[in-house]
Structures are given as C-alpha cells and as structure tokens.
Amino acid sequence: MSTFNTNTEQSIAEPKFKKGESCIRNYGGGKRQLVFIDECFYKKQEGVYYYEYSYFPSSDGFCYEDGLRKLTEIEKKQLKKSPLNMPMDMCSWNNDPF
C-alpha cells in the first residue's frame, strides 16, 4: 500500500522498515550494529525516509533508509537465541581506546 501525497500528485512508497523492527545499521568501514526502529519519518523535501532507532545497551541514533538493511534468516535465528550474537560494533565496549 502506498500513501497519496496531494501536494505533488505523486504516490509515496511505504517505508522498508516498520516501528519495532530489528535491522542492521551499516556505519561504513565495516562497522555494523543491531538496531530497533523506534520511529519513521518521511522527509518530504528530500523524498526519503528517516529513522530513529535504539540499540543495546542504551543508545539511540538516526539515519536514512539506505543506512539500514533487513536481517538475514541466519541473523533472525541468532537474534532469537540472544541479541549478544548480533553485530554490536558501536557499543561502548567495542570503542574503548584503552
């Protein structure tokens, strides 16, 4: 289903990720993080979706849709076993300079 934008007479595609969904945030440089979608906003002027997310243990962030990807089937199984099995490159214990 798509929504209809009456100002531009163009339809807007549904977001790829839904509130509450688990996915992987790609940071570049090979860094990845399991995140949980908290909110999704459509940025009309840019024509893109912008997401607010949270991640373990207690952080949050924002990104555009192209900075996220769906979980693979293997990752979904790993997540069911434990979120500690998932990518956590941005957690504080992985960024300690000491």
Q: What is the mean pLDDT of the chain?
A: 86
Residue 32 pLDDT greater than 90, yes or no: yes
The structural domains of the chain, with segments of one domain joined by +, span: 18-94
Say what the pTM is: 0.79
CATH fold of 18-94: SH3 type barrels. (2.30.30)
Higher pLDDT, 86 or 7: 86
CB within 8 Å of 24: residues ≥ 6 apart: 32, 33, 34, 35, 68, 69, 70, 71, 75, 87
**Cα→Cα distances 57→36, 44, 48, 84, Å:** 12, 32, 28, 10
